[in-house]
Structure 1
């Protein structure tokens, strides 16, 4: 396993494995025994960066979520896991009532919600401190300053370490970071968005926004990340739910002129290296122009083992050029 440091403050920064483990479906669609087996294998391989949220997976049973955090809490206690494994969680998108959604009825990002939801996450995870806490989605109904100050209070109290944002527009992230800097407060240092090898069409409506550009690393966010190298990008959905191995699963959002040529280049590099196409995608992300921590969810140990093989896969400059220059 390889590692990198996230965060800049010596008091809160952490060293994490370059491959993150997504626990979205643990305790719901993925049963407890399988979840434990995946977690155990991940840690055995040197993995130290697990991701969850307070609303995972509310859609599985029509509830409000919390199953993933609860399972991780049970697993941590049963294995004696301490702060050697960094657990990141999120708040802001938990439905306020069973049977509702995270867009039409979210908890939001008020100071009150931030404090109360973070406390419930600590209880479910069985920890006194959240290593990394994200604002899951934007909340335009609450002043940004209130959100910034609400998160900063928890850091000051020692119940939260690092702060992050997921699925926010780049300008909202920058405004929040500037508000924090002007007030001498901790700000967002880790950003979590969807990113993969195939470019996504941003002219189609997205799940989070009708404009289609929220939640994805498009040109604006990529440019922002290049200009702010102290930020860490964590990429969810990097393997497109298995579509690299089965391109017929690709949706219309990946129907762009470059897709056939990029898939051909991907398969050619996989054949050259003896790796799978999924491993090449992950290796490409790890060494991309915007260094990225891929966040991958698994339903079996075999899937995890395949992804682990990408960590030591070194693409040559020529292979990267072939992958990057395909238009």
Structure 2
């Protein structure tokens, strides 16, 4: 097992090129590993991790429940642990996991372990064992747990930070009030987010979206990094066999899709690349958490870090 050699911090570097915005590092993309060890077998997952880190990728995201709906929930963490052990790569990556959403034995997918302090401590120990490490760079509270005071949840995470088992604390699938009450005690926020916006009031069950109000809070809060998961809507931007969820069936979607296609055509890139580049060029920047099943898909996503979106392109995307 590896000890932390230094404190990792996210650095989303932005530099101007004339009147264009450019993201300078592949490291601003986060690799999501939800399907590692289940629908993506170990060999294929190892290949994606090799390609990601080989091209400068650093942050690998998992959870202690991936993918419990088709497996046990252990699979993703076990694969990542096996990979970094085989490659001697623990000190070359930043590793993030989440606790709180693992289904309880005998319960359904919505019957989760929750965020009681004792549960958090036990869940983190189990994750460290599966990940074959004695620390994670970031640990997220995976969901909201109204049965447990937020103060108790944060206190448990802070104990783990003091013990050296967690480097930084994150919140995921939260509301604005929880984020505000957490204040400076957390440094990461991960919410569902993409260029297309769901209709007002649309419910994603336990998943929560990044709202404009939350984005404004992040913009005014130094030291808080925001991530967006499901940025490519399971391939719906580019694959005709993937339909948009009903949440996006409203008039605003067509105007946004038209703008997206125009910018992609003008730039000679894919719609996926425009979505990711738009997220990174936003204020505040939103770090995409990408889930891929092939190295070709990974290469397409990583190319977005070198995509320049002009002010004209950004205005076109925002005006829609």
- Taking structure 2 as the reference length, the TM-score comes to 0.90
Equivalent position to 2:94, from 86, 108, 113: 86
Q: Structure 2: which 5+ runs fail to align?
A: 1-5, 13-26
Q: Secondary structure at the match of 1:286?
A: helix
Counterpart in the other structure of 2:17: none
Alignment partner of 1:23 is 2:29: no
Distance 1:216 1:316, change over 3 A: same
2:252 maps to which of 246, 249, 258? 258
The Cα shift of 1:134 comes to 0.1
Contact 2:11–2:28, Cα closer than 8 Å, also in 1: no
Distance 2:11 2:81 in 1: 21
Q: Is the 8 A contact 1:52 1:68 kept in 2?
A: yes
Contact 1:26–1:68 (CA<8 Å) still a contact in 2?
yes
Secondary structure of 2:300's counterpart equals helix
> After superposition, what is the alpha-carbon deviation per residue over 1:162-183, rounded to whole angstroms, capped at 9, x for unaligned?
1000001110121123xxx6xx
Indicate the residue corresponding to 1:4 in structure 2: none
- Map Cα deviations across residues 240-262 of structure 1 (whole Å, 9 max, x no partner): 11111146611221122221121
Equivalent residues of 2:33, 2:291 under 8 A apart:
yes
Select which of 190, 193, 203 maps to 2:188.
190
8 Å CA contact 2:218–2:284 kept in 1: the answer is yes
Q: How much does 1:188 deviate?
A: 1.2
Partner of 1:170: 176
Contact 2:276/2:301 (8 A) holds in 1:
yes
Q: CA deviation at 1:39?
A: 0.6
Q: Is the counterpart of residue 243 in structure 1 residue 251 in structure 2?
A: no
> How much does 1:320 deviate?
0.4
1:102, distance to aligned residue in structure 2 (A): 4.2
Is 1:151 matched with 2:153?
A: no
1:307 to 301, 305, 311: 301
Match of 1:233 in 2: 226
1: CA distance, partners of 2:135 / 2:237: 38
Q: State the distance in 1 between where 2:161 and 2:215 align.
A: 28
Q: In the alignment, is the contact (CA less than 8 A) between 1:163 and 1:189 conserved in 2?
A: yes
The SS at the match of 1:309 is: helix
**Is the 1:51–1:88 contact (alpha carbons within 8 Å) kept by the matching residues of 2?**
yes
**Given the superposition, is the C-alpha separation of residues 12 and 245 from structure 1 closer, same or farther in structure 2, using an over 3 Å criterion?**
closer
Taking the aligned partners of 1:134 and 1:202, their CA distance within structure 2 comes to 26
Q: 2:67 aligns with which of 41, 48, 57?
A: 57
Q: Contact conserved, 1:202 with 1:218, CA < 8 A, in 2?
A: no
Give the alignment's Cα RMSD to 1 decimal: 1.6
- Number of residue equivalences: 300
Quote the residue 2:268 is aligned against.
Answer: 274
| Higher RCO (C-alpha under 8 Å, 6+ residues apart) | 2
Q: 1:308 to 1:13 in 2, by over 3 A?
A: closer
Q: Distance in 2 between matches of 1:302 and 1:256?
A: 32
* 3-state SS in 2 of match to 1:311: helix
Q: Tell whether the 8 Å contact from 1:134 to 1:164 is kept in structure 2 after alignment.
A: yes
Residues 74-120 of structure 1: CA deviation (Å, up to 9, x unaligned): 0011111122200100001111215x3342x2111111111111111
Q: CA deviation at 1:15?
A: 5.0
Deviation at 1:273, TM superposition (A): 0.9
Q: Following the alignment from structure 1 to structure 2, what is the Cα–Cα distance between the partners of residues 206 and 309?
A: 29
**For residue 42 of structure 1, what is the aligned residue in structure 2?**
52
Question: d(CA) in 2 for partners of 1:73 and 1:193?
Answer: 25
Choose which of 204, 207, 214 in structure 2 pairs with 1:206.
204
On the 8 A contact 2:231/2:276 being kept in 1, the answer is yes
Farther-moved stretch of structure 1 (214-223 vs 187-196): 214-223
* Equivalence for 1:109: 115
Structure 2: distance between partners of 1:242 and 1:11: 35
- Match in the other structure for 1:7: none
Moved over 6 A (4+): none
Query: Paired residue for 2:15?
Result: none
